[in-house]
Chains A and B, each alone.
Chain A
Amino acid sequence: MIRGRSPVVRSAIRAASPLALLVAAFLFFAGHNQPGGGFAAGLVIGAVVALRTVAGIGRPQDATRWFAVGTALVSAVALAPLLGGEPLLDQVIVSETLPLLGKVKSGSALVFDAGVTAIVVGLFVAVFDGLDADELGRDEVHV
């Protein structure tokens, strides 16, 4: 079975993880104007989770927490406009000039996307919890 436990692989995955997270962050923020977006970012983070599972190094464990955060963000963006008498999911666009980044134009869609990302990551955490390579190695299927 998959036992990518060689030290080289482990170190490589360890080193690659922050890079991959950086890529995810790029995709996330680029999504509004370039290809990318919350779902793609979530997939990349999810891939990190998958790799770390295979390598047997630490990874997020609690899928429900990711779902909770994601669902909360998505519902907040969806429902908040109702309080102000606006239709469901109405977006707010903020255009600010910040000291370091210059003019930033974005909106509550970003928060919505963050929720999507969190849920996708949660899905990965859940799946790899269930498909834990470690566990499969242990109770090898008996015919």
Chain B
Amino acid sequence: MIWILLVAHLVGVVAVLSLPNPRPAFAVALAAPLASAVWAASRLGGGEIDTARLDWVEGLDLAFSFRVGPLGALLAVLVSGIGVLIFVYGHGYFGGGDRRGFAATLLAFSGSMLGLVWADDVWTLFLFWEATSVTSFLLVGTKSTDSTAVTAARRALLVTVAGGLVLLAGLLVLVDVAGTATLSEMGPVTGDQATVAAVLVLVGAFTKSAQLPFHVWLPGAMAAPTPVSAYLHSATMVKAGIVLIGVMHPVLGAVDIWSGLGVTVGLLTMFWGAIGALRHADAKLVLAWGTVSQLGLMTAMMSLGSGKAIFAAVSLVVAHAVFKAALFMAVGEIDIRTGSRDLRSLSGLRTSMPVAFWVMVFAGLSMAGVPPLLGFPAKEAAIEASLNESGASGDLILAGVTIGSVLTVAYTTRLVLALFSDKGGEPTEVTPFRWAAAAPSVLLSALGVVGYVLAPSVTDWVVPAAATLETTSAGYALLRWPGLNSTAFLISMGIVAGGAIIGAAAARHSSPPEPLGANNVDRLVDRTLDLAKWTTGRVQHGSLPIYLVVMALVASLAVIPFLGSIDANQLYAWDRPLQAGMGTTVVAAAIAVAVIRSRIGAALALGVVGLGVSALFLIQGAPDLALTQLLVETVIVVGFVIGLGGLTTQFPTNGFVWRSVRIGTAVLAGAAVTAALLASAEDTPSNREALTAAAVDEGGGNNLVNVILTDLRALDTLGEVVVLVVAAMGVLALSRADTARGGGAPLSDDVRKVRR
């Protein structure tokens, strides 16, 4: 079933792209998520575990491996269930137009996310992790003509992919220390290596889940169309880091630094995100900063690692996915129907857009943690988990969660009040209602209430999921009404009251927002590109001779390590005395080739070299080579004279310096090759007896060289033939270009321009 569902996403992507008519794109796209959501929902609360495994490279222990237990089912319901609603919403949001590519990419993301939450192998997990980064990049950059969107997409990609690399490093260390790549087989690890792995994995998770200081990409990603923001940047992808922290809890949770680092960063992020949400006047940015803040709380809870905290984290993931997606959808609906998301200018929406208003009220109350909504028991669990912590660090955690929660209530209050207040003057104009854009958000905000009413059922789904990460989570429950004597409840009420007052006050003032760090990333990117360009400009100046000199020098240096293995016992002066004489002739003729400045003369000298080399072949006992070389040499000299003999221009002359560099390089290269050859001398000839026998028996010939070429190693010859054919094609193409282009004047103009 796991395979069917994952492959169904892939098939869906192809199907959407090949639709003849763009109209049903979203309808076709939601089939696979719908099936996944239904299947996963049927397993909620149950204890069964499904696995699927496909070996990829067995020797390297690489495999696609999946395992769907209670946590996998719960997360799949969120990913695919909200996915279905997003596709419906997308249909309404775009209201026509060709969105096949968008729908297909969104579906590809949905499938990647599913693979990520189901993965049972760190490499499978990493693969899908990166797939979500890439699809996210494509979705943020949907409006590829909008430079803001492109910059934001680039920023998001760089931060998440850089984090992905850190994660990869962490996973490599982890697999080394844990001895397996299969998550369900990993036991707890500790020690120095585990600490390194823990830090790297946490950093990877922080980048994906927009934790300080990597949070900068998330607000920018709001340049994406709202369905993307609602799906990727609130409900699913940004939770991947938190899920990762959870999945790694049984393995790395015992490492000292794990919870300290995670909780600190999480709480700081919660605070900083809430401040950001209070400053901005763009409703979508308020939600984005709010998401950063909420993700901080979840990170803190997940890394805190006590049974209650893990339980709270999983509950928060569920509650947040439900209310934040609804909030985004409502803001998106306002955006498309009024053309604005500005808290300071929108007016009269309470009467003109009542559905969006009530959606935001209910979802907002859930976010603020007010009963009777699902956000309340989840937030209660978080506060209780903080209360359970002892000592000074416990007090700090409690203080952090409390302050963060107060601010959460404040920015929620401010958002709803400011967005729907009457600013005086004309009410904002509103285009007609679209049910497809409104229905999913209504459903989600209603689920907030239903979830509260059915809290015991939700508990039944969350507890087994949390218990797969931390067994002591088993005893906890989502409480609808903890009672007035519960400390947590009193704190909770204080938070709501305090937050509401601050929020109401803030609704009247909006300070102009500052970029808050995003431009640091952009600056870094620009600097890197400048540096790359500068390096390219210096190193890659375009002169072929200089490239060749550099290559020859570097290649010559590569010989140095082998100098030690020159063994004088393997060396002798010559095979036959004649070899020395012929060798001298060859080298002398070669020097003549370089010195003679007439083309015909140089070609003839080259011919002498060839003849000399043929003679050396004969001396060596290689008549086949000698014969072939003789023929080849003749042809090349004739071709050279016919082809280039008519050229009367002088060879270019060089300045003294460049000429010296060339000569120096040449001498060095020659010395290096001689040294390398001498170092390779070794008395291990190939097995001639076996070769001879094979040639006569199998190849049916006595000329060993020829039998080797046409039979024993015929594959080499086949490759050689291919090279010949390709070279010949090139020759043909070059010679025919004359007639096809009639002289080729345009090219020469171009070339002359640069020569100056």
A binding-site residues for B, Cβ under 8 Å: 1-2, 27, 31-40, 43-44, 46-47, 50, 53-54, 63-64, 67, 70-71, 74, 77-78, 88-89, 91, 93, 95, 105-107, 109, 112-113, 115-116, 119-120, 122-124, 126-131, 133, 135-136, 140-141, 143
With A43-B635, A78-B718, A119-B725 already in contact, the answer to whether A109 and B624 are too (CB < 8 A) is no
B46 contacts chain A at the CB level, 8 A cutoff: no
Chain A residues within an 8 Å CB radius of B96 = none
Chain B residues within an 8 Å CB radius of A36 = 624, 627, 703, 706
- Determine if A35 and B710 form an interchain contact, defined as CB atoms under 8 angstroms apart: no
- Determine if A2 and B639 form an interchain contact, defined as CB atoms under 8 angstroms apart: no
B702 contacts chain A at the CB level, 8 A cutoff: yes
B19 contacts chain A at the CB level, 8 A cutoff: no
Chain B residues within an 8 Å CB radius of A46 = 635
Given A141-B647, A141-B648: 18 more A-B contacts, CB < 8 Å: A2-B645, A27-B627, A36-B627, A36-B703, A47-B634, A50-B635, A54-B642, A70-B725, A71-B725, A89-B718, A105-B700, A109-B700, A109-B711, A112-B710, A119-B725, A130-B736, A131-B639, A140-B646
Q: CA of A116 to CA of B624 in the docked complex: distance in angstroms?
A: 16
Name the one of A35, A44, A127 contacting B731, with C-beta atoms under 8 angstroms: A127
- Determine if A112 and B731 form an interchain contact, defined as CB atoms under 8 angstroms apart: no
> Closest Cβ of chain A: how far from B656's Cβ, in Å?
27
7 smallest CB-CB distances across A and B, nearest first, come from A130-B735, A32-B701, A43-B631, A109-B710, A35-B623, A33-B702, A93-B700
- Chain B interface size band reads 35 or more
Chain B residues within an 8 Å CB radius of A124 = 635
Chain A residues within an 8 Å CB radius of B715 = 88-89
> Closest Cβ of chain B: how far from A33's Cβ, in Å?
4
B51 contacts chain A at the CB level, 8 A cutoff: no
B632 contacts chain A at the CB level, 8 A cutoff: yes
Q: CA of A109 to CA of B703 in the docked complex: distance in angstroms?
A: 13
Chain A residues within an 8 Å CB radius of B724 = 119-120, 123
Using a CB-CB cutoff of 8 Å, which residues 333-373 of chain B contact chain A? Answer: none
Residue of A nearest to B628 (CB): A40
Residue-wise interface mask of B (690-731) relative to A, using a CB-CB cutoff of 8 A (1 in contact, 0 not) = 000000001111110011011100110110010011011101
Chain A residues within an 8 Å CB radius of B727 = 123
Q: How many pairs, one residue from A and one from B, have CB atoms within 8 Å of each other in the complex?
A: 148
Main secondary structure of the interface of B (DSSP, over half): helix
> Closest Cβ of chain A: how far from B184's Cβ, in Å?
43
Q: CA of A143 to CA of B333 in the docked complex: distance in angstroms?
A: 71
B641 contacts chain A at the CB level, 8 A cutoff: yes
Residue of B nearest to A93 (CB): B700
Chain A residues within an 8 Å CB radius of B721 = 70-71, 74, 115-116, 119
Q: CA of A89 to CA of B714 in the docked complex: distance in angstroms?
A: 7
Residue of B nearest to A112 (CB): B710
B binding-site residues for A, Cβ under 8 Å: 623-624, 626-628, 631-632, 634-635, 638-639, 641-643, 645-649, 698-703, 706-707, 709-711, 714-715, 717-718, 721, 724-725, 727-729, 731-732, 734-736, 738
Q: CA of A70 to CA of B722 in the docked complex: distance in angstroms?
A: 11
Residue of A nearest to B647 (CB): A141
Chain A residues within an 8 Å CB radius of B643 = 130-131, 136
Chain B residues within an 8 Å CB radius of A105 = 700
Chain B residues within an 8 Å CB radius of A143 = 648-649
Q: CA of A70 to CA of B628 in the docked complex: distance in angstroms?
A: 19
- Determine if B703 and A74 form an interchain contact, defined as CB atoms under 8 angstroms apart: no
Name the one of A50, A93, A113, A126 contacting B728, with C-beta atoms under 8 angstroms: A126
> Closest Cβ of chain B: how far from A127's Cβ, in Å?
5
Listed A/B pairs (9) with beta-carbon separation below 8 Å = A2-B645, A36-B703, A37-B706, A38-B710, A109-B701, A109-B710, A119-B724, A126-B731, A130-B643
> Closest Cβ of chain A: how far from B724's Cβ, in Å?
5
- Determine if A91 and B627 form an interchain contact, defined as CB atoms under 8 angstroms apart: no
- Determine if B646 and A112 form an interchain contact, defined as CB atoms under 8 angstroms apart: no
- Determine if A67 and B711 form an interchain contact, defined as CB atoms under 8 angstroms apart: no
With A2-B641, A35-B627, A123-B731 already in contact, the answer to whether A113 and B718 are too (CB < 8 A) is no
Chain A residues within an 8 Å CB radius of B717 = 112, 116
- Determine if B714 and A43 form an interchain contact, defined as CB atoms under 8 angstroms apart: no
Q: CA of A44 to CA of B433 in the docked complex: distance in angstroms?
A: 85
- Determine if B714 and A67 form an interchain contact, defined as CB atoms under 8 angstroms apart: no
- Determine if B734 and A130 form an interchain contact, defined as CB atoms under 8 angstroms apart: yes
> Closest Cβ of chain A: how far from B27's Cβ, in Å?
47
With A35-B627, A37-B709, A93-B700 already in contact, the answer to whether A130 and B732 are too (CB < 8 A) is yes
- Determine if A43 and B649 form an interchain contact, defined as CB atoms under 8 angstroms apart: no
- Determine if B634 and A63 form an interchain contact, defined as CB atoms under 8 angstroms apart: no
Name the one of B624, B698, B735, B736 contacting A35, with C-beta atoms under 8 angstroms: B624
- Determine if A50 and B735 form an interchain contact, defined as CB atoms under 8 angstroms apart: no
With A31-B703, A34-B703 already in contact, the answer to whether A123 and B718 are too (CB < 8 A) is no
